[in-house]
Amino acid sequence: MEKSTRKYEAIVIGTSAGGLTALHRVFSQLDEKFRLPILIVQHVSPNYESRLPVLLSQYGTGLVREAEDKDQVREGNVYISPPNYHLLVEPDKSLALSVQDRVNLSRPSIDVLFETASEAYCESLVGIILTGTTSDGANGLSTIQKRCGLTIVQSPESAEFDIMPRAALAASSPDFILPLNEIGLFMNSLSNRG
Active site members: 16, 43, 136
Asked if 168 contacts 134 with a C-beta cutoff of 8 angstroms, the reply is no
Burial of 25 (0-12, 13-18, 19+ CB in 10 A): middle
Backbone phi, psi, residue 131, to 5°: -55, 150
* DSSP-assigned letters across all residues of 130-156: -SBSS-TTHHHHHHHHHTT-EEEEE-G
Other residues' Cβ atoms within 10 Å of the Cβ of residue 60: 12
Asked if 117 contacts 92 with a C-beta cutoff of 8 angstroms, the reply is no
Asked if 180 contacts 159 with a C-beta cutoff of 8 angstroms, the reply is yes
Amino acid at 34: F
Q: How distant is the alpha carbon of residue 104 from its chain centre?
A: 17
Enter the DSSP assignment of 158: G
- 174: preceding bond cis by omega (within 30 degrees): no
Residue 76 region, left (φ>0) first, then alpha (ψ -120 to 50), else beta? left
